Structure 1
């Protein structure tokens, strides 16, 4: 059995991992990347057409953004994920296997006598799962984007598990960070701007980090004017009880109704990729407001342009594990070999179990 890295190691995006054995060919995630002239996973048509199952950990572009490309190149297998991931991905396809939510921590789904998967919530966004695949007497864990420290999203913690191979998110790289310090920094910056009668725009992803940052201001919701676009407002009002640790009490003002007064604005377009949010950003700049980016920004996007021209601020809100957090996971589980992905920087590691892997590496399991 082999594990082929079609994308995701030593880069931020294009996450895609192909497992081939005697009986099955399985792909975990099929993401795109915006920091490269070629944005798709490195898979041949022959590889694509042999895939029987595609497991999606969640709907973010860097994990599911190349699925339509995969289908266009001959994929005819079954896509396996949560119902929320299916809905968010907007992928038009006929063959889905929807996994029910774990009732108590881990759940198990059997495909055949030779293939079953244990899975749980990964704490990254609504719909996000980790997978422990078992077939041909081997086990391979895929953490997806994983966080035990989310203030909003439930996580079925990885603990007491064995895997021959573990593919773990290390998007935080070598950085040692304290999530609470990052939350405090963002909250303080925004409140200070509002105190100075300024507008603050926070462009965030459609799903995930945005609701966590909105939650930072629940205690001030009566004093602050907070405006959300429709995608974020839906998430705040729908109250995904199976995925959220808490309920929200923030009054919902729709961004379309904002009239230019000092307020905190949330737009679900982290890269400012569409004309409407670009126009909104320009309006905020024209009114001498502040723009705050809180996550990874791809090169040559409008967000990147604003940052390079000192027209916006960057205050990271970590939603990925750094190496120090990965070590904690390794201590709580038994993984024979480990691959770290999602970080463009080389991870400073001294553990024998961690295997060096790059895009297009082929490893024997």
Structure 2
């Protein structure tokens, strides 16, 4: 049987494809290549270029392959962009996910793993780690669009024979430890990606959006998780459902936060480059501090992180950025 990976040519999706192939799974990829790259897809995977909202294409894929599970990454992910263009985000992340879920139900797909986000929490109460029972108060259309898909999955699983796992990502960074793939999108907004570009001279420094937050150094705090640990969590989720596990929602993070300035210091130290840092106005939609409580994922999925180290995350990011320079991708 095969696993369908939507958005499998993108940053996290391409790592997932390699992870599944390393585990000897049969993999099918669907990606419209709006932000992903065909070369990022492992050659052993079967590739289809197209949109998750195209029900006819999905029907052809399901007819051609014995799909057991869908791991759904496809979607738009930039918080400020979602504030400026909310309807596009609701279309791409919610409406099209609804079409994908409907096609999966019709094809009697057994398992569904959904790429959600800590943005569904908004700014949590208090300063401690947030668990899955925390109030869901997204502060951007991006977070709201993901929460809507979570709700659709829950209702679909109640009415139909499909089991799901929702994984709420905190801040994903780093690159494949074997150098096979990484964050490759030009103009990406991920903090560590942007900082690495600045360190390698691809950007004229970096802007820090607000230094007046109620945190020790005034900048936002985030829980950074290495992409390899993240995709391994998806594999554990699939294994758990195959073993009869019920539907579940779980955070994906390490339970430890770093401020924006902490991260920039680490990138400067690892690269040896003192690139310019500019403090500018806050961005709309940015929460103050979001750190995961990972107890559920470690308990229910038997997941253990292997790369819980900011220095390692930064170094793999820098290594990948150097590889991109040699590819002349930009």
TM-score (norm 2): 0.35
Point out the structure with the larger helix share. 2
The two structures have a TM-score, normalised by structure 1, of: 0.33
